[in-house]
Amino acid sequence: MSSQTQSAPTSKTRSAFTITAIILAVIVIAFFLFSNLYADVLWYSQTGYLEVLTTQWIATAVMFMIGFVAMAVPVGVSLLIAFRARPIYAKLNAQLEGYQQVVEPLRKLAMVGIPVLLGIFGGVSSASAWPVALQWLNRSSFGQTDPQFGLDISFYFYELPMYHSIVGFASAVLIISFLGALATSYLYGALSVHGREVRISRSARVQLAITAGVFFALQALSIWLDQYTTLYSASQGFLQTGASYTEANATIPGRAILAGIAAIVAILFIVTAIIGRWRLPMIGTALLLISGLVVGNLYPWIVQRFQVDPNARSYESEYIDRSIQATRDAYGVSDVDEVPYSATTDAEPGALRADAATTANIRILDPAIAPAAFAQLEQFKQYYQFGSHLDVDRYDIDGETQDTVIAVRELNQSGLGESQSWYNNAVVYTHGYGVVAAFGNQRAADGQPVFLESGIPSTGDLGEYEPRVYFGEDSPEYSIVGAPEGSDDIELDYPSGGEDSDQNATTTFEGDGGPVLDNIFKKLVYAVKFQSEQIFLASDVTDESQILYDREPLDRVAKVAPYLTLDSDVYPAIVDGRIVWIVDGYTTGANYPYSQVEQLSSAIADTYTPAPQFALDDINYIRNSVKATVDAYDGSVNLYAWDDEDPVLQTWNKIFPNTLLPQSDMTVDLLDHVRYPADLFKVQREILGSYHVTDAGSFYSSDDQWISPEDPVSDTGSLQPPYYLTMQVPGTDDPAFTLYSTFIPRGTADASRSVLTGYLTANSDAGPDYGKLTLLTLPKQDTIPGPGQVQNSFNTDTIVANQLALLQQGDTEVKLGNLLTLPVGGGLLYVQPVYVQSTSGTQYPLLRKVLVSFGDEIAFEDTLDEALDTLFGGDSGAEAGDGEVPVTPDVPVDPDAPVDPDAPVVTPGDNAALDSALADYKSALADRNAAYADNDLVAAAEADQRMVDAIERAIAATE
């Protein structure tokens, strides 16, 4: 047998093996892709939002086909026409003949393959534009027109982007078609170049000239549309965004002229197709290029430089007015209620009497420092955790609204250490348990938080609720839950014996939280998706099992409402007996005429929200249009149309009908826990830093620009975050849960001044006043210290510094809490809690002192109530929430100081005379201690006499 005969079967075997391997590889890849798609179908179907997925898929597929056809057909036709119109007996040089010999065997494949390949690219490009197309098809009117062209704002949001997309895509198709026809004509001799002489056949001339003519017609349309983009683009003049004088009087007319020239050039190319003379369109093209430089660039520069700049204030005034009005409308600050606030700096006795409700709710528990205390006191087991920043909400406790700091006890599987396994992670440790909430305005005698809801199982003032947390901000990637009826519970529920016990309660998930793994195929799909064969093989994964994934509230809302921009601060609440996560959703845009553009992620950056390295989320329109909830037990998502008058939301509601619930479906309990979203507020305060000025002249002069102050307790230079507090804002009738921030003058680092210029609040209580913005404007001639100045006063005050040094002795450190600013007593009150924490062993912060400031006065006491009394001449006129906490002297008593051995030991009671005497004794004692610390023996003697008088009155009161 010859070697050739032997090699033939071997070659066939190798070929068969190769083909088989390729087929298997394709099948595996296809199954991986299918698994992800099918898993999406199962997930969306289980959540009840399958229509959202199918709408996206259908829109993407339709747009892909449109793009594919729109690219492949013109390119294919152009190549075909160029080939069929080639000269039959063209004389070619040797080089072209060589090219033909190479191309000709592949010509038929290329004539089909090139258009198909380009069509795929075109389809992918157009598929990504499905939101633009669907918004255009379902557009809703804004009911407002722009001041330049008189067009409805919806034109800039929906129509203009669609027209630009069509023109841009069509231009790309024509360029590729032109280049394809040009190459084909050259390859087959319809176009030849001999030195300076260019010869072209009639058919090639007609094809190329018509293609060029249509291209220039499209450019005429594109240039015409560019007139409208000036209304939301950067300006050459003073304005940051929008058409100023130069754009309105030079750029826009110039673009109209250029569009006309481009249209003429298009006509000249059509004429060339008929008469065969290329000179006219070439001259027209050159004229278009020169006109673009002169009319499009040079002329506007001349107008700006020599006409506008010397008289900018008067020339730009009209356009500044446009920008002010548009920006305030687009960011929802046009109705801000400005209230002049002539803040006093004199701390008079009884000054807080009219602000008793605000004073009683002053929050002294810092949600950024409290997590360590929550973890130490309420975590119980290493497999639980709390967030790094807690949330502030309010609850009705015994008929009174109490500001609370609340956290969810979530699962932390990394805390299992070596006990981690697939079985434990996926099947046993599946959920967190309960919430922990503390009074925001109280502390225990030892400085710990006063919990109103705590423990495992949860007990407290929040009533009965479902405590299990399967869906949260730190939930595992996936868990497999559920079991056949009658099966043993295997999910760990909570440590039933307490922190020091290994006894555990178990449970079985009974909700509808994820796709059911009721057949082998679904198990295989999810085994592939999560790359875990255990999902397919484990005996505890039964036909009744559900797989829970995509469990973070933000992720779930983002998937069912892909058109929303979500607030970064998701917060939990007990609503109708369930733990729910409340998520604020925004509709945004970047095409609002004359509205200033902001980078969203940069505008919301502060101490709690880090700034991005690269901000790519420009907006100039925002509305808090949706309130979403995610149930912590079963993950169900509800989307409520909070602002149903928002035209952007109306458009998306047409695209995804039946996904939004009306606001009227929100329960009373849920409405009690909605808040004004922090990210929106931060964007609005950024805008109002400049746009609180409504006079064009003053705005141009920039003589009253504001900025939010840096956080005085942060060393990162980040802005101070806004804070939630229950307060009665001056100019309002009742206390409300309020979000606030302060303003100081904008300036460079060398020229900045931390004095208050404004105080912005937003009402967060659902009702007619929800979202009402109130801006307290302080007189420019007065100097009210801002947060930076107050913090500096705290840090440099001798008495405070000495007290802090005493607190920081040994193995302890001092942590300064958030510096709150409250408009009470006719002025501005600053409150800062002071925590002490061990630097070794068990470490968690305890609230030991409170710093307060009003005007130039400072007080530093054990409790806020005592500090306010000290600050306001012995009687603030109102009681703080920590008034019942016993206090200790600020400074150790001098051991050599005389002490009356007959002084009685007395306690506060219902005896008014006794209470007054005790208060005087405490005040005199503090004065005596301070006198000895300053070595002022005269003042110490005077204080001693006041103490003796107070003791005598106390004895008399008890007789």
Question: How far is it, in rounded angstroms, from Cα 180 to Cα 77?
Answer: 10
Question: 4-13, 389-398, 437-446, 558-567: which has the minimum mean pLDDT?
Answer: 4-13
Reference 67, options 132, 153, 10, 152; nearest CA is 132
**What 3 state SS string does 317-348 have?**
HHHHHHHHHHHHHHCCCCCCEEEECCCECCCC
Question: How far is it, in rounded angstroms, from Cα 122 to Cα 67?
Answer: 5
Which are the contacts of 382, defined by CB distance < 8 A and separation ≥ 6? 412, 415, 416, 417
When pLDDT is cut at 50, 70 and 90, the band that residue 399 belongs to is confident
> Are the CB atoms for 546 and 513 separated by under 8 Å?
yes
User: Residue holding tokens 């912060």?
Assistant: 845
CA 38 to chain centre: 30
Structure token digits, residue 880: 């703080």
Question: How far is it, in rounded angstroms, from Cα 384 to Cα 574?
Answer: 19
pLDDT score, position 546: 96
Question: 26-35, 617-626, 736-745: which has the minimum mean pLDDT?
Answer: 26-35
Question: 3-12, 116-125, 487-496, 644-653: which has the minimum mean pLDDT?
Answer: 3-12
Question: How far is it, in rounded angstroms, from Cα 86 to Cα 184?
Answer: 8
H or E element: which one contains 408? strand 400-408
- DSSP letter, residue 186: H
Question: 19-33, 239-253, 400-414, 572-586: which has the minimum mean pLDDT?
Answer: 19-33
Inform me whether the pLDDT recorded for 907 exceeds 50: no
pLDDT digits (tens, 9 = 90+) for 289-323: 999 999 999 999 999 999 999 999 999 999 999 99
| Residue 498 CB neighbours (<10 A) | 11
Q: Is 773 exposed, middle or buried (0-12, 13-18, 19+ CB in 10 A)?
A: buried
Asked whether the CA dihedral 136, 137, 138, 140 is positive or negative, the reply is positive
Angstrom distances, CA of residue 45 to CA of 40, 297, 328, 518: 8, 55, 41, 15
> Are the CB atoms for 633 and 577 separated by under 8 Å?
no
Question: How far is it, in rounded angstroms, from Cα 239 to Cα 958?
Answer: 74
Read off the pLDDT of each residue in 546-563 and give the average, rounded to a whole number.
96
Structure token digits, residue 662: 């009306």
Which are the contacts of 160, defined by CB distance < 8 A and separation ≥ 6? 225, 228, 229, 591
Mean of the per-residue pLDDT values of the chain: 88
Question: 472-486, 522-536, 673-687, 919-933: which has the minimum mean pLDDT?
Answer: 919-933
Within 574-634, residue ranges assigned H as helices are 600-603
Reference 90, options 196, 199, 179; nearest CA is 199
- DSSP letter, residue 563: T
> Are the CB atoms for 212 and 178 separated by under 8 Å?
yes
Read off the pLDDT of each residue in 93-107 and give the average, rounded to a whole number.
66
**Single-letter residue type at 675:** R
pLDDT score, position 299: 93
| Residue 349 CB neighbours (<10 A) | 13
Question: 144-148, 186-190, 830-834, 878-882: which has the minimum mean pLDDT?
Answer: 186-190
Inform me whether the pLDDT recorded for 269 exceeds 70: yes
> Are the CB atoms for 453 and 397 separated by under 8 Å?
no
Which are the contacts of 751, defined by CB distance < 8 A and separation ≥ 6? none
Which are the contacts of 920, defined by CB distance < 8 A and separation ≥ 6? 946, 949, 950, 953
> Are the CB atoms for 449 and 377 separated by under 8 Å?
yes
pLDDT score, position 553: 97
Give me the half-sphere count of Cα atoms (radius 13 Å) on the Cβ side of residue 356: 7
> Are the CB atoms for 472 and 490 separated by under 8 Å?
no
Question: How far is it, in rounded angstroms, from Cα 318 to Cα 696?
Answer: 8
Q: Which residue has the higher pLDDT, 501 or 927?
A: 927
| Residue 796 CB neighbours (<10 A) | 9
Question: How far is it, in rounded angstroms, from Cα 143 to Cα 151?
Answer: 10
Inform me whether the pLDDT recorded for 910 exceeds 50: no
> Are the CB atoms for 581 and 630 separated by under 8 Å?
yes
Which are the contacts of 290, defined by CB distance < 8 A and separation ≥ 6? none
Reference 944, options 912, 898, 902; nearest CA is 898
Structure token digits, residue 441: 């305005």
pLDDT digits (tens, 9 = 90+) for 383-394: 999 998 999 999
Angstrom distances, CA of residue 765 to CA of 360, 662, 677, 686, 728: 18, 18, 12, 23, 12
Which are the contacts of 253, defined by CB distance < 8 A and separation ≥ 6? none
pLDDT score, position 911: 58
Question: How far is it, in rounded angstroms, from Cα 750 to Cα 251?
Answer: 39
Question: How far is it, in rounded angstroms, from Cα 862 to Cα 36?
Answer: 59
Q: Which range in 455-464, 533-542, 604-613, 637-646 is most confidently predicted, on average pLDDT? A: 637-646
Question: How far is it, in rounded angstroms, from Cα 401 to Cα 159?
Answer: 48
Reference 531, options 478, 585, 583, 586; nearest CA is 478
Question: How far is it, in rounded angstroms, from Cα 527 to Cα 491?
Answer: 21
Residue 207 φ/ψ, nearest 5 degrees: -65, -50
pLDDT score, position 936: 55
Let me know how long the chain is.
959
Residue 259 φ/ψ, nearest 5 degrees: -65, -40
CA 119 to chain centre: 37
> Are the CB atoms for 155 and 229 separated by under 8 Å?
no
Question: How far is it, in rounded angstroms, from Cα 802 to Cα 794?
Answer: 11
**Single-letter residue type at 57:** W
Question: 197-211, 327-341, 801-815, 913-927: which has the minimum mean pLDDT?
Answer: 913-927
Query: What is the signed CA dihedral for 855, 857, 861, 863, rounded to 10 degrees?
Result: -30
Strand segments (E) across 205-362: 337-340
Q: Is 850 helix (H, G, I), strand (E, B) or coil?
A: strand
Bridge partners for 834 per DSSP: 816, 849
Structure token digits, residue 99: 């090219």
Q: Is 226 helix (H, G, I), strand (E, B) or coil?
A: helix
Question: 47-56, 117-126, 690-699, 709-718: which has the minimum mean pLDDT?
Answer: 709-718
Question: How far is it, in rounded angstroms, from Cα 759 to Cα 732?
Answer: 14
pLDDT score, position 477: 94
Q: What is the model's pTM?
A: 0.87
Which are the contacts of 288, defined by CB distance < 8 A and separation ≥ 6? 216, 258, 261, 262, 265
> Are the CB atoms for 143 and 155 separated by under 8 Å?
no
Asked whether the CA dihedral 172, 136, 628, 61 is positive or negative, the reply is negative
Inform me whether the pLDDT recorded for 898 exceeds 60: no
Give me the half-sphere count of Cα atoms (radius 13 Å) on the Cβ side of residue 659: 30
